[in-house]
Amino acid sequence: MITSGKDIRAILRTPIQRYYDAGMISSRAYLVCVGCEMYTVGELLRVYHDGDLPKLRNCGRKTIEELEKIVAPINKRQVIQLVNKVDLYEDLPEELKFIFETNYRRPLMDFSLDGIKWFYATFNGPHSFYGFFCLDQKNLVNRFNQLENWELKHYCYQLLSIIHAEIRKKNLDGTLTYELVVIARNVLWFCDERFAEELEAVDKDLNIRRKALLDDFDIRTGLLPRDVKRHQRLLIPNYSKAAGMLLLSEEEVRGLLQEIRPWGMTYRELFHLLDGLNVVLFDYENLDKKEILKDFIAKKYHYLTEEQIDFVAEFVEQYEYYPMFFLLRERLAHSNEHLDRMFAMATGLCDGSPKNMAEIGKELEYSRERIRQLLETAPRDLFKDKDWRDYHFDSILVTTEIDDLYLNVVEREKVNITFDVFTQVCTRGFPLKMVKVNDVRFLVNNRFSSQIIERICKEINRENRRIKSVIETIWLGDLLKNVPDDKIEDYKMVMPAIVTKAYGLVVDDKGNIILPPNGVDVIFELSEILRSKRRPMSLAELFAELKERCPEVRYKKPEEMRGKILRSDIIKPIGISGRYALAEWNDVYRGSVRDLVADILKKAGTPLHIDVIMEKVLRDYPYTNKKSVASSLGSDRERFVMMGEGYYGLRGGAGGNG
């Protein structure tokens, strides 16, 4: 005998269909219950207690015996007290009343004065507030819709979710009677997307239940026959409408159907849909959020194993979105549809080896052109799952964090794919293309031209690299002159994100790209170094001094400065010595060592010893040596003559022998 009140309530909420599915009752017994609108054990128990089972149509002795097996383990006296109890505010436990009263007024203080007045004009006390939402459930939909003021509905959502969070925190669900619809259900029924974020902030567990119910509704309606879907959209276009219809009798639902279609071919499917939603609603009230997730994942992704379902549930609980690349891989791995197989082969998502169209055509016996056509349409069905929206592929014009997203897919979703395969999935499944700017990769919408984006970025990069001593700006509109007029606004929306990510530049609200000063005018700094040292310097010396003076300079090697110096009019090289001097230095000898020695000998008018020559040479070329100078003079036989014993003269001139 089950005596615990909380356990009894769980059984009372159990759908009778479960006993039928488990083979515990026959189809006749199940149809008797459905025909008499007994869908749960609690409803069956009430009829049994009143002694009305023999009065039911088609309910014979064997059927009664089957139904008695369901209610036999339950403490009937305690149950009847529960199911017959009137759900009035006065009948609530004192602790539950305290939760209502303490959470009723406190949150209102965060709202506007007019909103508080509206609220108290409608609900002047906890009793009225509770009675509005938890009594007369049949008319609850109409009641709530009568609250025309948006702000008043907002307050109701806030209060209901806060009170529900307190009830779950206190674990008071077991103190409620069977007929009392849990406040969470009201929030789930009537909460729309405008309040989803606020609801999640207040009670994430409640929001998970809400999302699971909405997704379950989408799955169930997606399985309806095509002709039924057309009428289903008119009668129950969304979950809130369907949940409201759960409160209506079969005759009332049939009356609504008659208004849309005067004959009853779709009755069975729609009633089956509503019955299924009713069962799920009771189930989701008793399960914890992880069990709800696993139950939903098993229904939606039927090809997953138990271990994979656990992985997906833990993933969603940790990251709050679905591992869609993992789920896509598993679907492709288990699918026999030729379009799925073709997409799997083209991307290599399953085996890591993408195949070209020739290889696919050889295996599937399709022409190259036919494969190309099918690959353009095949991904559309694969990416219909609305959970792909968490990757923002459809909601924004450009995805800037594409590399981070790829790493998350590989590390979090345990999908070992290359970046190329990852981008193939993205660009074939969505209207996207890959664009690379300054070694940064982006996914942009197909409405944009990658050539235009690259041209604009090259111009921005050229201006940004130019040496600037002060802040400068470029108006984005000036860079879009060759863009078609109907697309200019789109580019103005997407280019700031690309420029900011690729170049680290700021774009203000008016579309001005801020170009910061580079901070280092290399030629100016080098000229100051030469001026302070008062002597010619080699490239290595100049580079070392520049790095010490300006650590932020972009050059990493001395040779990277040579081109800029040679193009300068301020600094000039000294012959081929590898040294540089200021152009304004008139006393610096700018010829080669040989030219200098020739001038020295010409002025002397007589041959000179190499030691005397070196004394004069070292004044202008301090980094040369006697051996190098002697070798250089010896190789220039047209101008110099070696006289012996270290003496040198000019051929045909001073000291030469002609």
- Convert the pLDDT of each residue in 607-635 to its tens digit: 888 888 888 777 777 777 888 888 878 88
Mean pLDDT score, 292-301: 84
Q: How many residues does the chain have?
A: 658
Locate 634 and state its tokens: 């010896």
H-type helices in 39-170, by residue range? 41-49, 61-71, 76-84, 94-105, 113-122, 126-134, 140-145, 150-170
Report the pLDDT value the prediction gives residue 72, as an integer from 0 to 100. Answer: 73
Residue 126 in contact with residue 151, Cβ under 8 Å?
no
Structure token pair of residue 423: 């981008």
Q: Which own/partner pairs from 391-395 qualify as long-range (CB within 8 Å, at least 24 positions apart)?
A: 391/321, 391/324, 393/426, 393/429, 393/430, 393/432, 393/443, 394/430
Give me the pLDDT at residue 600, please.
Answer: 84
Strand partners, 434: 443
The closest of 587, 593, 575, 599 to 535, measured between CA atoms, is: 587
Mean pLDDT of 585-601: 77
CA distance 243 to 210: 12
Query: Which residue type, as a one-letter code, is found at position 576?
Result: I
Q: What is the mean pLDDT of residues 307-333?
A: 89
Task: Report the pLDDT averaged over residues 453-464.
Answer: 86
Cα separation, 340 vs 110, whole angstroms: 53
Tokens linked to 464: 């940004």
Share of the chain above pLDDT 70, in %: 74
pLDDT at 651: 79
Kindly state the percentage of the chain with pLDDT values over 90: 3
Q: How confident is the model at residue 326 (pLDDT cuts 50, 70, 90)?
A: very high
Q: What is the mean pLDDT of residues 537-563?
A: 82
Q: In the β-sheet with 512-515, what is the strand arrangement from edge to edge?
A: 472-475, 512-515, 506-507
C-alpha–C-alpha distance, residues 481 and 317, integer Å: 48
Instruction: Give the C-alpha distances (Å, rounded to integers) separating 416 from 308, 318, 329, 352, 392.
Output: 16, 20, 10, 8, 22
Say how many C-beta atoms besides its own lie within 10 A of residue 17's C-beta. 18
Q: What is the pLDDT of residues 63-77, one digit of tens each?
A: 888 888 787 777 666
Q: Within 10 A of 611 (CB to CB), how many other CB atoms are there?
A: 9
88/291: higher pLDDT: 291
Is residue 310 very low, low, confident or very high in pLDDT (cuts 50, 70, 90)? Answer: very high
Q: What is the DSSP string of 83-96?
A: HHS---GGGS-HHH
Residue 148 has pLDDT above 80, yes or no: no
Coil vs helix vs strand at 181: coil
pLDDT at 358 over 70: yes
**Lowest-pLDDT range, 92-96, 180-184, 422-426?**
180-184
Q: Of residues 140 and 641, which shows the higher confidence score?
A: 641
Q: Say which residues have a Cβ less than 8 Å from residue 207's Cβ, sequence separation at least 6.
A: 196, 199, 200
How large is the average pLDDT for residues 33-47?
77
Give the pLDDT confidence score for residue 238 in this predicted structure.
61
307 pLDDT band, cuts 50/70/90, is very high
Provide the angle, in degrees to the nearest 10, between the axes of the packed helices 368-382 and 357-364.
90
The DSSP code sequence of 441-498 is EEEEETTS-HHHHHHHHHHHHHHHHS--SS-EEEEHHHHTTTS-GGGHHHHHHHHHHH
Question: How high is the pLDDT of residue 77?
Answer: 60
Residue 519: band (very low, low, confident or very high) from pLDDT cuts 50, 70, 90: low
State the CB neighbour count (10 A cutoff) for residue 249: 10
**Residues near 570 by beta carbon (within 8 Å), at least 6 away in sequence:** 523, 527, 582, 583
Report the candidate in 639, 637, 635 with the shortest Cα–Cα distance to residue 597: 639
- Neighbouring residues of 432: CB distance < 8 A, sequence distance ≥ 6: 393, 399, 426, 443, 444, 445, 446
Higher pLDDT, 565 or 208: 565
Task: Look at the block and give the residue holding tokens 């700031």.
Answer: 496
Interval 400-446: pLDDT, tens: 888 888 898 888 998 888 888 888 888 888 888 888 888 888 888 88
